Amino acid sequence: MARVYILANVLPGKDRDIRDTLRGIYGVVNADVITGQYDLAIVLEADDLNDIFNRIIKKIRKIKGITRTETFIAVE
């Protein structure tokens, strides 16, 4: 099982809508609105990293209102 943590910035006022959209994506284990430099924290799991990155590219990056993401790969 592979896991990544994604921190995202979104357009003002879109955080809850985007969070709810993310929660509906297969493999998203958690998506929360957070405080600080980023607006959302997302946990994504799949069988392997290739599957995870396909979901990021095909699903997450296409969500309107996400302006920036930073992805962290869990190593253990």
Rounded to a whole number of angstroms, the distance between the first and last alpha carbons of the chain is 10
Domain that holds residue 8: 2-73
| 3-state secondary structure at position 42 | strand
Instruction: Centre a 10 Å sphere on the Cβ of residue 74 and count the other Cβ atoms it contains.
Output: 11
Q: What's the total number of domains in the chain? A: 1
Q: What is the pTM of this model?
A: 0.94
For the domain that residue 52 is a member of, what is the CATH number?
Answer: 3.30.70.920
What proportion of the chain, given as a percentage, has pLDDT over 90?
A: 99
Residue 44 clears pLDDT 90, i.e. is over it: yes
Question: Residue 7: its pLDDT value, please?
Answer: 98
Q: Name the residue type at position 53.
A: F
Question: Could you read off the pLDDT of 2-37 as tens digits, one per residue?
Answer: 999 999 999 999 999 999 999 999 999 999 999 999
